[in-house]
Amino acid sequence: MSNETFDNRSVPVDKQVIQESVLAKEENQDGPFRVLTRKKMIGRYKCSSCHTAKPVTANSALELTHGDIAIEHGREGQALSCIDCHHLEERDFLEDKKGRKIDFDHSYQLCGQCHFRQKRDWLGGAHGKRVANWGGERVVFNCTTCHNPHSPRFKKRFPATYSVPLD
Ligand code: HEC
Ligand code: HEC
Ligand code: HEC
Ligand code: HEC
């Protein structure tokens, strides 16, 4: 109704952000909902474009391809390892603790195994963010829309102040 006037004024309405989403493999108290996809946002996806059955022989191949990834995730002095999350053979997938494949678009299933309280809050809407529409279909951010899985903690920072400094 963005073209209609209200109180004799026209009300500017922000255009809805159209982002790709998929039906979540979970339900909450309101039933099914959707979650923002991830695969198109992941620069190195598809992983299988490099991860084939052929052994890698190039020197420093790991450093050249994944040297930017530093794991700051896990308990003090016990960083998680790649295969706590990534499928060992099928790199295009994540893996849960029971060895089941998890699609990158459904990475909340991976995080939720260890962070079940945050996942429960996320399901209910107390953690994370809903995209547009309070009325229509529920679409929410994925865990990795906000958190970098390799270094998920947000850096502490001071709130910015916009007031004139007092002297
Ligand atoms: C440009 C090529 C390339 C792409 C794309 C790529 N990888 Fe790799 N990856 C490598 C190479 C080379 C290695 C090191 C040799 C090996 O283990 O096969 C490696 C190693 C790894 C390892 C093992 C790291 C270790 O410390 O042993 C993991 C896990 C991994 N890749 C995950 C992924 C995932 C997940 C993706 C997709 C999101 C991906 N890779 C995409 C080239 C690539
Ligand atoms: C806590 C779980 C977890 C651990 C541990 C982990 N990853 Fe990941 N990784 C993920 C998830 C989830 C994504 C997809 C992120 C997204 O949705 O953007 C990802 C993405 C990636 C990508 C694609 C990133 C890009 O932007 O191209 C690569 C490559 C990768 N991981 C390699 C590794 C390697 C190598 C290790 C070990 C040194 C590792 N990961 C450890 C969960 C993990
Ligand atoms: C295999 C278990 C495991 C998985 C899977 C996992 N995490 Fe973690 N995560 C941990 C552990 C262990 C810690 C460290 C907890 C602590 O220090 O109390 C942690 C810490 C964190 C923290 C920082 C917590 C704090 O209090 O500062 C965040 C945020 C986080 N993880 C988000 C994620 C997200 C997002 C995913 C999915 C991409 C994920 N985790 C997947 C085990 C896991
Ligand atoms: C809209 C962005 C957003 C989404 C989506 C999101 N988080 Fe968070 N998460 C945050 C912020 C912000 C914090 C607080 C960081 C702080 O206090 O330093 C946080 C904190 C955490 C923590 C630290 C403990 C705590 O509760 O403060 C964990 C663990 C965590 N998130 C896991 C998850 C998991 C698992 C998902 C998906 C099911 C998820 N997050 C989805 C933004 C998000």
Half-sphere exposure of 126 (CA within 13 A, CB side): 7
Question: How remote is the CA of residue 130 from the centroid of ligand 4, in Å?
Answer: 14
Report the alpha-carbon distance of residue 78 to residue 84 in Å, rounded: 12
Which position has the higher pLDDT, 45 or 136? 45
Whether 60 has a pLDDT exceeding 90, the answer reads yes
The protein residue whose alpha carbon is closest to atom 40 in ligand 2 is 82
Q: Give pLDDT tens digits for 6-56.
A: 677 766 655 565 789 999 999 998 899 999 999 999 999 999 999 998 988
Which atom of ligand 1 lies closest to the CA of 64? 12
134-to-16, 37, 43, 106 alpha-carbon distances in Å? 12, 20, 31, 22
Q: Is residue 154 situated within a structural domain?
A: no
Determine the structural domain holding residue 88 and report its residue range: 14-146
Least confident piece of the model among 66-70, 135-139, 141-145:
135-139
Q: Is residue 1 situated within a structural domain?
A: no
Number of domains the chain contains? 1
Which ligand is located closest to the Cα atom of residue 51?
1
Q: Find the residues whose C-beta lies inside 6 A of ligand 2.
A: 38, 41-44, 66, 69, 71, 73, 80, 82, 84-86, 94, 104, 107, 110, 144, 149-150
Question: How remote is the CA of residue 26 from the centroid of ligand 2, in Å?
Answer: 22
Q: Is residue 2 situated within a structural domain?
A: no
Which position has the higher pLDDT, 131 or 160? 131
Q: Is residue 141 situated within a structural domain?
A: yes
72, exposed or middle or buried, with CB in 10 Å at 0-12, 13-18, 19+? exposed
Measure the CA angle with vertex 52, ends 51 and 55; round to 5°: 95
Please list the residues that pair with 28 across neighbouring strands: 31
Whether 5 has a pLDDT exceeding 90, the answer reads no
Does residue 111's CB lie within 6 angstroms of at least one atom of ligand 4? yes
Write out the two tokens for 76.
Answer: 């003090």
Question: How remote is the CA of residue 164 from the centroid of ligand 2, in Å?
Answer: 43
133-to-37, 86, 96 alpha-carbon distances in Å? 17, 33, 32
Neighbours of 92 (CB within 10 A): 16
Q: Is residue 84 situated within a structural domain?
A: yes
Write out the two tokens for 71.
Answer: 């794991």
Whether 2 has a pLDDT exceeding 80, the answer reads no
Q: Is residue 55 situated within a structural domain?
A: yes
The protein residue whose alpha carbon is closest to atom 3 in ligand 4 is 128
Q: Is residue 9 situated within a structural domain?
A: no
Q: Is residue 68 situated within a structural domain?
A: yes
